[in-house]
Amino acid sequence: MSAVITTHGLTKTFKSHTAVDSLDLHVPQGVVYGFLGPNGSGKSTTMKMLLGLTQPTSGDINVLGQPLTRASRTELLPSIGSMIEAPPGYGHLTGRENMRIVQGMLDLSSAQIDRALATVRLTEHQHKLVRNYSLGMKQRLGIAMALARDPALLVLDEPTNGLDPAGIEEIRTLLVHLAGRGITVMVSSHMLDEIDKMAGVLGILANGRMIFQGTRDELFAHSIPDLIIETPDPQAALAQGITATPIPRGIRISGIDKHQTAQVVHRLAVAGVPIHEVRRVQQSLEDVFMDLTGRGGML
């Protein structure tokens, strides 16, 4: 698959603090690329560098087949739609008037504006003042502004931030639809479940470093299942010095391989703890993510 964005050793240092550390990004063409990481992990800084809004301290960026430089940026920007941090748009103007500003700056046709508004389902609200829009509508207007130029690449920084589940679902459906039309969509979030269902490829950041990049299936391949042991006497099981969490009718041991499973079962059986059922359960993607980011683990 050809890549729309690649970086090598991309690094940004603020004084002594390294916000983005030697990032090798690989964003394939025509996918939704979910850029995940806790707050402060370096997502916005990375996206700003990809758009030429912030100069990298070191490293290379290649976007749409060209090295990103001051000169190439001017050429590339008409092909890149973006929304960084808060949604743009003047509250005292209508949605349409805001779009007209974008139209003038980029020399777009009215048909392009109509199409972008229709895609984000704002046609019927276009003559309302933006200050009366819901947050979801403001986010969608921001996406329409990014989309009107018919970009090859969309870079959206936390477009689902603060939305309710219905609003998140709406953005998710929209971005998957855009990727289906061949637009590459790079979208960041600090919430895995907001991204999980739409992203074909995930890049996970922690403390400025990429700790995982690949498909959801590849991420799951790194997970270690939990073990559930059903017993009428969880306390007796816990008394055997096993690190486990009590659950209704048993205990749960996280991240345990087959060899350790055999040892635990043996120890409980020898101690006379009644065992009704033993089963391994897949970690949730959330657990995998938390393991990677919260506990600072490396794959």
- Binding footprint of ligand ADP on the chain (CB under 6 A): 14, 19, 37, 39-45
- Nearer to ligand ADP by C-beta: 148 or 199? 199
Q: How far is the CB of 106 from Mg ion (least distance, A)?
A: 25
Residues within window 31-60 making contact with Mg ion, judged by CB under 5 A:
43-44
- Nearer to Mg ion by C-beta: 94 or 189? 189
What is residue 276's three-state secondary structure?
A: coil
194/34 Cα distance (integer angstroms): 9
Residue 6 gets the label, from left (phi > 0), alpha (psi -120 to 50) or beta, of beta
- Nearer to ligand ADP by C-beta: 40 or 214? 40
114/127 Cα distance (integer angstroms): 12
Partner from Mg ion, ligand ADP, none binding residue 14, C-beta < 5-8 Å depending on class: ligand ADP
290/17 Cα distance (integer angstroms): 24
Q: How far is the CB of 43 from Mg ion (least distance, A)?
A: 5
- Nearer to ligand ADP by C-beta: 2 or 39? 39
Residue nearest Mg ion, CB atom distance: 44
Of the candidates 192, 171, 188, the one whose C-alpha atom is nearest the C-alpha of residue 46 is 188
Other Cβ atoms within 10 Å of 276 Cβ, number: 10
Considering just the CA atoms, what is the radius of gyration of the chain in Å? 24
Partner from Mg ion, ligand ADP, none binding residue 41, C-beta < 5-8 Å depending on class: ligand ADP
Q: How far is the CB of 187 from ligand ADP (least distance, A)?
A: 13
Q: Is 82 in the site for Mg ion (CB under 5 A)?
A: no
Lookup: tokens for 187: 């979208």
Q: How far is the CB of 47 from Mg ion (least distance, A)?
A: 8
- Nearer to ligand ADP by C-beta: 53 or 118? 53
64/68 Cα distance (integer angstroms): 9
Of the candidates 262, 261, 271, 269, the one whose C-alpha atom is nearest the C-alpha of residue 239 is 271
105/65 Cα distance (integer angstroms): 25
Q: How far is the CB of 178 from ligand ADP (least distance, A)?
A: 22
- Nearer to ligand ADP by C-beta: 38 or 225? 38
The binding site for Mg ion (CB under 5 A) comprises 43-44
